[in-house]
Amino acid sequence: MSLQSDVAALLPVIAARAAETEQARRLPADLAAQMAAAGLFHMMVPRDVGGLECDAWTALQVMEQVGAADAAAGWCTMIGSTSAYKAGFIEKSVAREVYGARTGVFGGVFAPMGRAVEEDDGYRVNGRWAWASGSANCTWLAGGAVIMADGKPLMLDNGSPDSRMVIFPAAEAELLDTWHSSGLCGTGSGDMVGTDLFVPASHSVSLMHSAPTADGALYRFPTFGLLSLGIAAVALGNARAAIADLVALAAGKKPTGGRRTLAERGMAQADLARASAGLNAARAYVQDVVGRAWAEAEAGDDLGTETRAQLRLAATHATRTSAEVARSMYDIAGGDSVFLSSPLQRRFRDAHTMTQHMMVNGSTYELTGRVLFGLPTDATFI
């Protein structure tokens, strides 16, 4: 079986369990296991350590498809696969240990909310990380940690603290049930706590200056670019499904006092057309930029600042356009959309929760705008 056929068979299952996932406030364990078996968390793991090593656009399309079935499941797919991307930057023996098994489920938080002190051949780590999506089902977790020395952060030349992603068995973390959110409820994005963990240096990686140990074009993509594009892919899928939900509703709904169905009303037709055009344009922008960046990576080139900025800009634009589309579909549906039985209210909430992630929030426009103006820009986080 191929990834595409396995995913196609799983999508109806994910969609049918969306309400259950939301109510549980986490991905059901058996569903997470089915997603792992289908390869959803191995898309960015190198082939030579047991992964699928998909090209970037293929992986993003899968995230989009799962996001259309259920945004929470799509989000967990995005987090799991991008977390496993680190397999291309650590020793191959460690990558096989951590990311090699198809049954593995991966997660983590790149934000450096932890503190790490060098000890022997590793780090002593303490921290509490928010937004640990999918963590309840994970076999391995990772968290960003500032490197400390003499009680102070070690600083890089650009003035930011040095940090590493530290990778540890999920059983060593304490998971806190803090995820009571307006959207993406089923992602289980509560806090994870690591107390006095010892993490070997081999189980850590710098998102800023570690060189890849894998040779593929995928590992010449910027980590933050892939993360932001993954968010955009889930958002695009969620918005596409919101359009489908509205079309299905509008065919039979007759607004109060009217004889025509909602689908027959000119204003609804125009709003739907504008939303569809905007979504298609945003997706095409992402596909175009990813295609051009992939060509650079396949040529063996490190992606330049302008290309990286375009990846981030396309991802942010797509995520925020998708939220506008979900809102528009919610508005067109009228009073029907406010009931919990309507998928449109969930699509609306999920879409706007996605926009709050720091990789795609409004500050991205300032960061990428500097590059567009040709101004000196610290490209560390692009």
Q: In angstroms, rounded to a whole number, what is the distance separating the alpha carbons of residues 158 and 95?
A: 30
Q: Are 153 and 134 in contact (CB under 8 A)?
A: no
pLDDT per position as a tens digit, 356-378: 999 999 999 999 999 999 999 88
Per-residue pLDDT, 73 = 98
Domains (range + CATH), the chain: 3-99 (1.10.540.10), 109-205 (2.40.110.10), 221-381 (1.20.140.10)
Residue spans of beta strands (DSSP E) within the chain:
109-119, 122-129, 140-149, 152-153, 163-169, 174-176, 191-200, 204-205
With cut-offs at 50, 70 and 90, classify the pLDDT of residue 257: low
For the cut 80, the answer to whether the pLDDT of residue 381 exceeds it is: no
Q: In angstroms, rounded to a whole number, what is the distance separating the alpha carbons of residues 120 and 165?
A: 18
Q: In angstroms, rounded to a whole number, what is the distance separating the alpha carbons of residues 232 and 63?
A: 9
For the cut 80, the answer to whether the pLDDT of residue 170 exceeds it is: yes
pLDDT per position as a tens digit, 64-94: 999 999 999 999 999 999 999 999 999 999 9
pLDDT per position as a tens digit, 12-25: 999 999 999 999 99
pLDDT per position as a tens digit, 221-238: 999 999 999 999 999 999
Mention every residue, 6+ apart, whose C-beta is less than 8 A from residue 251.
261, 263
For the cut 70, the answer to whether the pLDDT of residue 316 exceeds it is: yes
Per-residue pLDDT, 256 = 67
For 42-46, 115-119, 256-260, which range has the lowest pLDDT when averaged over its residues? Answer: 256-260
pLDDT above 70 coverage of the chain, percent: 99
Nearest to 318, CA basis, from 223, 243, 221, 233: 233
pLDDT per position as a tens digit, 264-299: 999 999 999 999 999 999 999 999 999 999 999 999
Per-residue pLDDT, 344 = 98
Q: Are 103 and 52 in contact (CB under 8 A)?
A: no
Q: In angstroms, rounded to a whole number, what is the distance separating the alpha carbons of residues 111 and 271?
A: 38
Per-residue pLDDT, 160 = 86
For the cut 70, the answer to whether the pLDDT of residue 174 exceeds it is: yes
